Amino acid sequence: MSFFTDLARQYIDGEWRDGSGSWDNIDVNPYNGEKLASITIATTGELDLAYRAAQRAQKEWAATNPYSRRLVFERALRTIEDHEDEITAAIVTELGSTRLGASYEVHLAMEFLREAIHLPLRAEGRLISSPVDGKENRVYRAPVGVVGVITPFNFPFLLAVKSVAPALSLGNAVVLKPHEEAPVTGGALVAKVFEDAGLPGGLLNVVITDVAEIGDAMIEHPVPKVISFSGTETVGRHVATVCAAHFKHAILELGGNSALTVLDDADVDYAVDAAVYSRYVHQGQVCMAANRILVHRTLEEEFTAKFVAKVRALKAGDPAEPDTAIGPVINSAQADAVAAVVAQATAEGATVLVNGRISGNLVEPIVLSGLPADSPVMKREIFGPVALLVPFEDEEEAVRLVNGNPYGLSGAVHTSDVERGVNFARRIDTGMVHVNDGTIQDEPAVAFGGEQHSGLGRLNGEQMVEAFTTQKWISVQHGRSAFPF
């Protein structure tokens, strides 16, 4: 099967169909500019069909025995396992992801499917005691109904599976809108996996479209009760506002400005390895990437020399080659944005330690130091292969530097004293901090999410039950109540 030929369509109510919009979404390989597919976009009419199909199919699905629902996810997992190499290659082609990054994405998607297999049995109810004699309080868990999922271009297959699989496993139906730069691996391919796994038609619908065509219809539509969004802070803020106006629950996984902190007793070689990976994997286009690398003054010279040497050795180029560490950024606009950040930083006095070239969408690794602490660049997310090295004098200054930005998604600290690292981590205003590891971590059973401008809510593990189910209180009065009138 050629994914970019056979799956370049909408998937609505169990059928593959063309959109009826007036223009096409052109899917291209960001490394060589090759046209992969041309997909006529969906209109608000098709979006309505998708939501109505989901609404119709959901009731019967919710009533299905949870043990039977699990079988779909077991088959979906086997489908991905059987086609792992093809899916990995498609991600490399569509996103410019390196083979290492694409393999990691597919592996983690399979881990989330393994977790989804068990979720149907976790939506447990409770019996709660009552102060009223003869009263029994039952609190049931019920699916929310229909979930709208909006995913970004980075790790699109993983981030789609991460919300779609648990929402479905808990008895909901889903309408998925992938990013326009990842319509196949972030959308149509996910639909194909579940179609092959025997998911009944209508439960998962994929609409390939753009806000220029549908505006806010994806989140304003009356059918979905929950919107799961992964993307930028700016768009996430808008999604939250619209959801609130329509009494919908928003789950937001937004940007980050993560810091990896190297304390004075750290293993420098290990910290360098963690920092290089945390900054440059997938060209730095990761919300958890370590934008800022904070190093104690006593280690600054040694760490900088080793970090720069390792970065210079990273191979940039064709992401299809197995030894390539740095592939292209997603498009020319992103490459221009990276160039603008570097120009701003150097204008503010930053020293360029590694001056990677920018050619088309290929941005070679860049390392900057000496940026003023009050620079706007220090407070923003850089979605590209640019590292900022920042020295500090003591832990108090390090904490201030780490917390001195509006984001709070991930972070890491390196030290030979684990408890010192834990105490440092507890002072950091982020949802996730990793001691003696990289900033890029995601595990299906552990709560994932950020603080401040990095999002709302949590995903993974038991948090999926909170996100995609609601609670219903049903009381039973045994005997007769006494009413005052």
What is the predicted pLDDT for the residue at 120? Answer: 87
What is the predicted pLDDT for the residue at 410? Answer: 94
Are residues 190 and 314 located together in one domain of the fold?
Answer: no
Q: Give the separation between CA 467 and CA 454, rounded to whole angstroms.
A: 17
- Domain span including residue 339: 258-435
What is the predicted pLDDT for the residue at 125? Answer: 87
Q: For the stretch 89-99, what's the b/e string if a residue is b when 16 or more beta carbons lie within 10 angstroms of its beta carbon?
A: ebbbbbbbbbb
Burial class (CB in 10 A: 0-12, 13-18, 19+), 221: buried
Question: Which CATH number belongs to the domain containing residue 418 in this structure?
Answer: 3.40.309.10
- Per the domain annotation, does 443 fall within a domain? no
The answer to whether 439 and 290 have CB atoms below 8 angstroms apart is yes
Are residues 262 and 247 located together in one domain of the fold?
Answer: no
What is the predicted pLDDT for the residue at 65? Answer: 92
Are residues 322 and 343 located together in one domain of the fold?
Answer: yes
- Per the domain annotation, does 482 fall within a domain? no
DSSP state of 393: S
Q: For the stretch 193-215, what's the b/e string if a residue is b when 16 or more beta carbons lie within 10 angstroms of its beta carbon?
A: bbbebebeebbbbbbbbeeebbe
What is the predicted pLDDT for the residue at 60? Answer: 96
- Per the domain annotation, does 417 fall within a domain? yes
Are residues 335 and 289 located together in one domain of the fold?
Answer: yes
Question: Which CATH number belongs to the domain containing residue 187 in this structure?
Answer: 3.40.605.10
The SS3 of residue 42 is: coil
- Per the domain annotation, does 481 fall within a domain? no
Residue with tokens 């920042």: 390
Reading the block at residue 260, the tokens are 């990896």
Are residues 310 and 235 located together in one domain of the fold?
Answer: no
Are residues 170 and 269 located together in one domain of the fold?
Answer: no
Are residues 161 and 24 located together in one domain of the fold?
Answer: yes
Are residues 287 and 385 located together in one domain of the fold?
Answer: yes
- Per the domain annotation, does 297 fall within a domain? yes
Domain tally for the chain?
2
Per-residue pLDDT of the chain (485 residues; tens, 9 = 90+): 689 999 999 999 999 999 999 999 999 999 999 999 999 999 999 999 999 999 999 999 999 999 999 999 999 999 999 999 999 999 999 999 999 999 999 999 999 999 999 998 888 889 999 999 999 999 999 999 999 999 999 999 999 999 999 999 999 999 999 999 999 999 999 999 999 999 999 999 999 999 999 999 999 999 999 999 999 999 999 999 999 999 999 999 999 999 999 999 999 999 999 999 999 999 999 999 999 999 999 999 999 999 999 999 999 999 999 999 999 999 999 999 999 999 999 999 999 999 999 999 999 999 999 998 889 999 999 999 999 999 999 999 999 999 999 999 999 999 999 999 999 999 999 999 999 999 999 999 999 999 999 899 999 988 999 999 999 999 999 988 888 99
Q: Rounded to the nearest 5°, which phi and psi values hold at 69?
A: -60, -35
- Per the domain annotation, does 479 fall within a domain? no
Pairing mode, strands 258-262 and 249-253: unpaired
- What is the number of alpha carbons within 13 Å of residue 400 lying toward its C-beta? 9
Are residues 213 and 272 located together in one domain of the fold?
Answer: no
- Per the domain annotation, does 345 fall within a domain? yes
Are residues 247 and 267 located together in one domain of the fold?
Answer: no
- Which residues are marked as active site? 253, 287
What is the predicted pLDDT for the residue at 1? Answer: 60
Are residues 141 and 123 located together in one domain of the fold?
Answer: yes
Are residues 106 and 160 located together in one domain of the fold?
Answer: yes
- Per the domain annotation, does 483 fall within a domain? no
